[in-house]
């Protein structure tokens, strides 16, 4: 595989709104605590790059992907669904199926309720879709179990242990941000991910 | 990243072995913590100093409260 860190990269395809932030941040922490590196479209701020190209590049660089379809719902203004997440899932599935180099890819697909996806992407029927019920603790456990199974690594701690550590991290995050003269909500993805890495390093 | 974790990360990359989390979390078998490949807006030095300060603050508060309990 051309990307040097392919085996350890995890692409996260999810909404980036503030309502989803608690789930997103817990997932990012779980991925890092398991010894993998989260990657998402938010890590690159280069406006000269076409968004879908940027996403395709990330998908190609990651053996693992988490796709969360739970926010595929009609928006209040346009009464149309947000379809970026299913589109990116489609790109990832295409990558896995049509590229021999990527045939070993592993995907974790989330939705809010069981079988809900069949109403808007019925072609996904037959795939194993997981639910997190908008609960960060459940999301962390599902992510941990999936990475553990798919990577074959038997030394990743249990979901409960990772979540406990995540709670400890959250308890200190506000103070860390205050020392840096930043608001928690102002952290960019790379900043947040760096803080997680340093925190894990300090609590090893 | 410490020199030790850099070396073990390089070894793992060479052998193709996936990162492990092996208790205990210190010493040669400690897990490799991966940092983002993208640049953050805050330097790692600053983040390390901030994390250190918060841990020191928490430890001081904990020892104070345990000292109070003993009294």
**Residue B5 predicted with pLDDT over 60:** no
Contacts by A114-118 with C-beta closer than 8 Å and gap 24+?
A: A117/A69, A117/A72
**How distant, in Å, are the alpha carbons of A56, A89, A101, B59 from that of A95?**
9, 10, 9, 48
In a domain, A93, yes or no: yes
pLDDT in the model for residue A64: 97
Interval B7-65: pLDDT, tens: 555 555 554 444 444 444 555 555 577 777 777 788 889 999 999 999 999 999 988 88
**CA Rg value for chain A:** 17
In a domain, A1, yes or no: no
Q: Which of A144, A139, A15 is nearest to A73 (CA)?
A: A15
How far is the C-alpha of A164 from the C-alpha of A162, rounded, in Å? 5
| CB-based contact B54 A204, cutoff 8 Å | no
CATH number at residue A161: 3.40.50.10140
Q: Give the count of domains, chain A.
A: 1
Query: What residue has token string 């280069």?
Result: A46
- Chain A CB contacts of B26 under 8 Å are 204
pLDDT in the model for residue B16: 47
pLDDT in the model for residue A67: 97
List the structure tokens of B28: 């040669």
CB A10 within 8 A of CB A67: no
Going across the sheet that includes A129-131, the strands are A37-39, A9-13, A64-68, A106-111, A129-131
Using CA of residue A70, residue A72, residue A73, residue A78, what is the dihedral sign? positive
Range of the domain at A133: 6-202
**Residue A150 predicted with pLDDT over 90:** yes
Query: What residue has token string 């993805």?
Result: A189
CB B42 within 8 A of CB A201: no
Domain boundaries, chain B: 1-35, 38-71
Please tell me the pTM assigned to this model: 0.83
**Residue A13 predicted with pLDDT over 80:** yes
By Cβ distance, the residue of B2, B21, B33 closest to A156 is B21
Min CA distance, B71 vs chain A (Å)? 27
By Cβ distance, the residue of B13, B40, B57 closest to A4 is B13
Percent of chain A with pLDDT over 90: 65
């Amino acid at each position: 595989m051309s990307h040097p860190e392919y085996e350890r990269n995890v692409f996260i395809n999810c909404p980036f709104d503030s309502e989803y932030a608690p789930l997103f941040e817990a997932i990012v922490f779980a991925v890092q605590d398991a010894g993998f590196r989260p990657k998402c479209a938010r890590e690159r701020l280069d406006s000269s790059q076409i968004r879908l190209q940027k996403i395709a590049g990330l998908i190609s660089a990651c053996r693992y992907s988490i796709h969360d379809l739970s926010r595929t719902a009609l928006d209040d203004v346009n009464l149309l669904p947000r379809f970026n997440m299913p589109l990116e899932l489609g790109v990832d599935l295409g990558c896995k199926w049509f590229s021999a180099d990527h045939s070993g890819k592993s995907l974790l697909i989330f939705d809010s309720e069981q079988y809900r996806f069949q109403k808007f992407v019925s072609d996904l029927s037959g795939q194993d879709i997981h639910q997190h019920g908008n609960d960060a603790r459940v999301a962390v456990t599902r992510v941990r179990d999936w990475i553990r199974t798919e990577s074959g690594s038997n030394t990743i701690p249990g979901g409960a242990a990772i979540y406990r550590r995540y709670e400890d991290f959250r308890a200190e995050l506000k103070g860390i941000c205050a020392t840096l003269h930043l608001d928690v909500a102002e952290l960019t993805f790379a900043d947040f991910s760096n803080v997680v890495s340093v925190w894990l390093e300090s609590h090893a | 990243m410490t020199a030790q974790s850099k070396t073990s990360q390089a070894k793992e990359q060479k052998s193709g072995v996936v990162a492990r989390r092996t208790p205990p979390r210190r010493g040669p078998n400690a897990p490799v913590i991966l940092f983002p490949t993208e640049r953050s807006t805050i330097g790692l030095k600053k983040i390390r100093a901030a994390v250190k300060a918060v841990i020191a603050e928490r430890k001081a508060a904990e020892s104070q409260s345990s000292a109070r309990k003993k009294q």
